[in-house]
Amino acid sequence: MTLRAGTAARISALLFVALVPPILAAILWSSLRVWQPLGFPGLVETSDPGVYFRSSSWVVGQGSLYVNVPSEYPLFANLFFAFVRLVSGALNSQPSAQLSFEVTWVTCGWWMWLGVLLLLWRNAPHRAIWLWLNPAALYFSLYRFDVYLVATTLLALLAARDGRTRTAALWLGVTVALKGFAILAVPAFAVWVWRNKGRREAVIATVLAVGPMAASLALVLAISGMTAMLSPFRFQAIRTPDGDTSTWDVLMPFGLGTKIARHIPLLPFALEAGSALVAALMRPKNFQEFLRSYLVAIGGFLTFSAFYSAQFVLWLVAPVALSGSLALLAATVAIAWVTPLFYPVFWNVPHGGLEFRIPVLVITVLRTGIFALVLIPRRFVAGWAQVIRTGRSGRGLAPAPESPSP
C-alpha cells in the first residue's frame, strides 16, 4: 500500500513538473514575448524558433523545402520542425500560427530538458547534474535545437559504454543527421569499435553512423536536385570569423586571427578535420579513452570554427558527464554559468564593451583549455596528479581526492 502511494506521489509530481510550466507559458505567452526588465532580454526568445517556424512552411503547403523554402538545417532537423508545426497547428493554442509554434516548441524543449536531467541522474556521477542545472542549459533547451543533439549523443555514449556498438552507431547517426558537425566524431568512434570488436563491426558501425545523413541527402537529391541538397550547407560554408566570438577573434591580438581566417577561408575547416583525424589517431581502446578522443574531435570544432554560438556549450555535456573528470566538469559548468552574460544578456550592447568582451574571453579561454587538456596524453596527466598528491603529503596535508583522468 505504501509502495503504491509512493509511486502515485512520484507520478503526480512528475506530471506537475512536466505540465504546469507549459500551461502557464501558453496562458502568458503574448505578455512574456514583450517583457524586457530594465531593457535586458526577458524570459522569451523568438529569433531561432522563428527560423524553425519558417523552415517548416513546406509542411503546410507554403512551398518546397530547399527550393523556395530556405533552410540552413538538414532534412532530419526539418522533419522535426515539421512535426512541431503540425502539432502546434492542431492545438492552435495562440492567436497566430507562429505563436502556437513557439509555445509548442518551448514545451518540447522543456520535456527534453527534463528527460536529459533524468538520464544524467540515473547514468552519470551525480555531480554531473550540475552540467544541466544551470541557466545556459535550460535557456538553450527551450529556445534552440541543440538540446536534441545532447539527448541523442548521451544515448549514443551510454550505449557505447554498455558495449552496444550498433545501437551507439545508430544514435550517433541520428546526431549527425540532425546537425552535420557531429560527423567529426565518427572516425574516432570507428577506430574505437575496430580496436574492440574488429574490422567488420567497425565497418558496420561506420555505415550506421553516416547512413541516416547519407540517406537524407540522397532523398533530397532525388526529389529536388543537387542545388537543394547542398542548400543547408551553403550558409555554414561561407561563414568567416565574425570579429567577436571565435578563437580567431579573441585569442589572436590586433585582428590577426580574423584576417588569417578570412584570407584562407578553408583553414578553419582544415583544422577541424585535422582535429577529427587526431582524435582517430589517438586509437582509443577503452571507453574513457573514447570519450577523450570524442572531446578532441568536438573540441577541435569549437576551437577552430569561424564562429562560436552560445548554445555550443551543450555539445560538451554528454561526454564530460560520463568522463568522470572533475577538471572538465568544472570548466564546462563555468562556461555554462558565464554564457548567459555573452548571450542573451549583453548581446545587444556594443560588442567592444567590457561587459560583452569579458564573458567572451572567459568562455574562449575555458573551452580552449578543455581542448588542450584532452589532447594531453593520459600518462602525463596521471604523472602530474601523482606529483600533486605527493607534494600535499609531504607538507602534511590530506591527499587530494583522486579523479579519473580527463
Q: Say which residues have a Cβ less than 8 Å from residue 147's Cβ, sequence separation at least 6.
A: 109, 112, 113, 116, 140, 141, 314
Gap between the Cα atoms of 247 and 12, Å rounded: 47
Q: How far is residue 134 from each of residues 205, 337, 369, measured CA to CA in Å?
A: 34, 6, 21
Residue 1 forms part of a structural domain: no
Query: Got the DSSP string for 99-110?
Result: HHHHHHHHHHHH
Instruction: Give the model's pLDDT for residue 160.
Output: 98
Residue 134 forms part of a structural domain: yes
Instruction: Give the model's pLDDT for residue 36.
Output: 73
Residue 82 forms part of a structural domain: yes
Instruction: Give the model's pLDDT for residue 241.
Output: 75
Tens digits of pLDDT across the chain (406 residues): 455 767 888 888 889 999 999 999 999 998 888 887 766 666 788 899 999 999 999 999 999 999 999 999 999 999 999 999 999 999 988 999 999 999 999 999 999 999 999 999 999 999 999 999 999 999 999 999 999 999 999 999 999 999 999 999 999 999 999 999 999 999 999 999 999 999 999 999 999 999 999 999 999 999 999 999 999 988 777 777 776 777 777 777 667 877 887 888 888 899 999 999 999 999 999 999 999 999 999 999 999 988 889 999 999 999 999 998 999 999 999 999 999 999 998 888 888 889 999 999 999 999 999 999 998 876 555 555 555 556 655 555 555 444 444 4
Residue 399 forms part of a structural domain: no
Instruction: Give the model's pLDDT for residue 402.
Output: 45
Q: What's the pTM? A: 0.90
Say if CB 325 and CB 295 are below 8 A apart: no
Residue 388 forms part of a structural domain: no
Residue 141 forms part of a structural domain: yes
Boundaries of domain holding 308: 17-32+45-375
Say if CB 159 and CB 248 are below 8 A apart: no
Residue 107 forms part of a structural domain: yes
Instruction: Give the model's pLDDT for residue 403.
Output: 47
Query: Into how many domains does the chain fold?
Result: 1
Instruction: Give the model's pLDDT for residue 405.
Output: 46
The dihedrals phi and psi of 352, each to the nearest 5 degrees, come to -85, -10
Instruction: Give the model's pLDDT for residue 133.
Output: 97
Residue 328 forms part of a structural domain: yes
Q: Do you find a cis peptide bond into 344, omega within 30 degrees of 0?
A: yes
Say if CB 363 and CB 388 are below 8 A apart: no
